[in-house]
Amino acid sequence: MKQTILITGAGSGLGRGLGLCLAREGHAIIATDLNRERAEETAAQIAAAGGEAKAGALDVTSEADVRLFWDKLAESPVSVLINNAGLQHVARVEEFPVEQWDLLLGVMIRGPFLMIRAALPGMRARGFGRIVNIGSIHSHVASPFKSAYVSAKHALIGFSKTVALETAGADITCNTVCPAYVRTPLVDAQIRDQALQRGISEDEVIGRIMLDPMPKKTFITIEEIAAAAEYLISPLARNVTGQTLTIDGGWTAQ
């Protein structure tokens, strides 16, 4: 079943990868990013691979920007929303800049709230909708030096469950996919930052901090996350809502 899928933070990394993977499954992609050029690059890559995609600049923290963007989508009804936009800042709590705290929670909690609030009227009117929020292993566990990120990702699960309950009377679902580390530019930056904070090498960060807690000892792939999303957005997943699908190599089984 072909869907029109809006992905936030689709200008690079996981968001771009999800767009490419889901387009290969026949879905139409609306790639959004704070950086218009990066969103357009993603759409161009999808088109070059034979897929269907549009691009747009979007600041998910801005109520006015979100409202204007959704108003422009009237001719392209969105059946699936993937809230993926995210960023990281690594610092001790006592050294954590307030403006960075506000930015991280703005992008990863206020953003999904504004996007879902804007998406739901259309989904209800059409009688179908799928919302996939991209959480993290840090939706379940904590790591030092990531207070804002951990707080935002924990909160995202609670918000997703609330949306699931509020939409239970329609064929609309809201779920959270929580992967462990995926080797993206965001994670590469974390490797450097954590090496500095902990006083260890980047290889030690990868081995001891990122992969050692995972019994399977391997990074999660974008394709694995896309496969989870593909199931969650399908008609067969109509009774899967308010759930957290964790892809962590066994991390939280311990």
Show which residues are catalytic.
149
**Cβ contacts of residue 28 below 8 Å, gap of 6+?**
2, 3, 4, 5, 52, 53, 54, 76
Instruction: Indicate the SS3 state at residue 159.
Output: helix
**Cβ contacts of residue 203 below 8 Å, gap of 6+?**
none
119, 219 in Cβ contact below 8 A? no
CA 235/CA 214 separation, integer angstroms = 32
CA 85/CA 52 separation, integer angstroms = 21
245, 41 in Cβ contact below 8 A? no
186 CB neighbour count, 10 Å cutoff: 16
